[in-house]
């Protein structure tokens, strides 16, 4: 009888975790749709996994139509498709990377003092300050095209937003005239920005150059040239991302290909440490 009681107690105190794997197919050709069947208006963004939920942030371009030609930049001008002044930051969430629900505009351009064009919003959480931090590429409407390209930063207390602007122009970066970017957070909480700079071909030759730079502890600025990798890899590149796997750091980016339908090649660079790169 005592043995039966002990066996019952042991049975009740054992917890068995069952992990169910589901195969998910993600197409880079078919438009991605939300749970209502609506094409997701989200571009140039990133995903964050937090508390079992995937948060997908990206620029909303609206219902514009790309101009004919080899790329979407054949008619580069303010108000053109992909260059409008109302690129809010869309937020979708999912538990499985397949079924997406539109939540809100996590950041709205109408909250900015000066109108402009938003590209490439990137979001990470600062576990020290408990803030969610968003960096994005910003072209002021009053500027002269890509010559005035810069980065802005916004923060929120929650991943849903709304994000509030902190600075319209980051001035601490090693290089100026900046383009595409991404953010990377290391295991110890240090964060880095991988970004292109000197993107205006009428001024710089070569142009669209890549580097990695450490962010400040609050993630609201960078630590400048002293903590910059220096330019590396090929020139005339864009769309970077950075991640870590099995102790190796990876930087991935490709040749410039502005909204081109056929895509572009990707080059992978590796390092055993973030500093020096």
* Per-residue pLDDT tens listing for the chain (277 residues): 434 433 433 333 333 445 567 788 888 788 899 999 999 999 999 999 999 999 999 999 998 888 887 777 877 778 888 889 999 999 999 999 999 999 999 999 999 999 999 999 999 999 999 999 999 999 998 876 778 899 999 999 999 999 999 999 999 999 999 999 999 999 999 999 999 999 998 899 999 999 999 999 999 999 999 999 999 999 999 999 999 999 999 999 999 988 887 777 899 999 998 755 5
Find, among 89, 131, 133, 136, the residue nearest to 109 by Cα.
89
Can you say whether residue 217 is alpha, beta or left, with left for phi > 0 and alpha for psi between -120 and 50 degrees? alpha
> What end-to-end distance do the CA atoms of the chain give, in Å?
66
Using only C-alpha atoms, what is the Rg of the chain? 21
Which tokens go with 253? 């980016």
pLDDT at 17: 46
Residue 10 pLDDT: 37
User: For position 146, what pLDDT does the model report?
Assistant: 76
Rounded to the nearest 5 degrees, what angle is found at the Cα of 234, between the Cα atoms of 231 and 236? 95
Residue 258 has what pLDDT?
A: 85
* Angle at CA of residue 179, ends 216 and 276, nearest 5°: 45
Contacting residues for 124 by C-beta, under 8 A, at least 6 apart = 48, 132, 133, 183, 185, 191, 219
SS3 (DSSP) at 85? coil
Structural contact between residues 158 and 134, judged by C-beta atoms closer than 8 angstroms: no
Tokens of 249: 């750091």
Instruction: Give pLDDT, residue 248.
Output: 96
Contacts of residue 59, Cβ cutoff 8 Å, sequence gap at least 6: 42, 43, 44, 45, 87, 88, 89, 90, 118, 119, 120, 121, 136
Closest CA to 218 of 147, 150, 277, 133: 133
pTM of the model: 0.90
User: Which pLDDT score, from 0 to 100, does residue 139 have?
Assistant: 92
């Amino acid at each position: 009888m005592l043995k039966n009681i002990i066996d019952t107690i042991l049975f009740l105190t054992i917890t068995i975790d069952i992990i169910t794997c589901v195969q998910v197919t993600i197409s880079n050709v078919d438009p991605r749709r939300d749970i209502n069947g609506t094409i997701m208006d989200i571009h140039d963004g990133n995903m964050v996994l937090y508390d079992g939920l995937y948060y997908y942030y990206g620029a909303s371009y609206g219902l514009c139509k790309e101009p004919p030609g080899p790329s979407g930049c054949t008619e580069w001008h303010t108000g053109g498709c992909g260059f409008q002044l109302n690129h809010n930051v869309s937020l979708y969430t999912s538990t499985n990377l397949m079924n997406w629900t539109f939540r809100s505009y996590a950041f709205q351009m109408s909250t900015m003092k000066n109108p402009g064009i938003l590209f490439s919003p990137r979001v990470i959480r600062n576990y020290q300050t408990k803030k969610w931090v968003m960096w994005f590429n910003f072209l002021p409407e009053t500027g002269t095209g890509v010559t005035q390209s810069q980065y802005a930063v916004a923060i929120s207390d929650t991943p849903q937003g709304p994000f509030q602007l902190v600075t319209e122009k980051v001035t601490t970066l090693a290089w100026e005239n900046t383009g595409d970017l991404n953010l990377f957070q290391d295991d110890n909480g240090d964060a880095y920005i991988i970004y292109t700079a000197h993107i205006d071909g009428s001024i710089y030759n070569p142009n669209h150059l890549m580097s990695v730079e450490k962010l400040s502890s609050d993630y609201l600025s960078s630590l400048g040239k002293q903590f910059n990798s220096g330019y590396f890899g090929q020139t005339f590149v864009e769309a970077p991302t950075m991640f870590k796997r099995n102790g190796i750091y990876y930087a991935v980016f490709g040749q410039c290909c502005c909204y081109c339908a056929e895509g572009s090649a990707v080059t992978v660079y590796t390092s055993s440490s973030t500093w020096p790169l």
